[in-house]
Amino acid sequence: MIAAFIHTLAIRYNTQTDDQGMIELPRYFSRKMIANYVGVGLTTLTTHLQKLMEEERVIFNSRVLLIDAENRI
């Protein structure tokens, strides 16, 4: 659910993919904002982002969140 939401935001607000097939979520979407939209706590969101990172579906740090353009499930 979280990956689908982030992917939807990324596609809607940034149609450019990088050379690794990743789309950058605009920086004005903070993790706190995403957590509020999805209806989860910030800690829960961070845990899910870490799992998605292990699956190589997202890349994130404190300033940038990239999601796989194909949103592989």
Which pLDDT value is given to residue 73? 45
Q: DSSP secondary structure string, 4-49?
A: HHHHHHHHHH---B-TTSEEEPPTTS-HHHHHHHHT--HHHHHHHH
Which pLDDT value is given to residue 48? 93
Which pLDDT value is given to residue 72? 54
Q: Structural domains in the chain? A: 2-68 (1.10.10.10)
Low-confidence ranges of the chain (pLDDT < 50): 73
Which pLDDT value is given to residue 44? 95
pLDDT tens-digit map of 22-41: 888 888 888 899 999 899 99
Token code pair at residue 9: 């935001």
Which pLDDT value is given to residue 54? 93
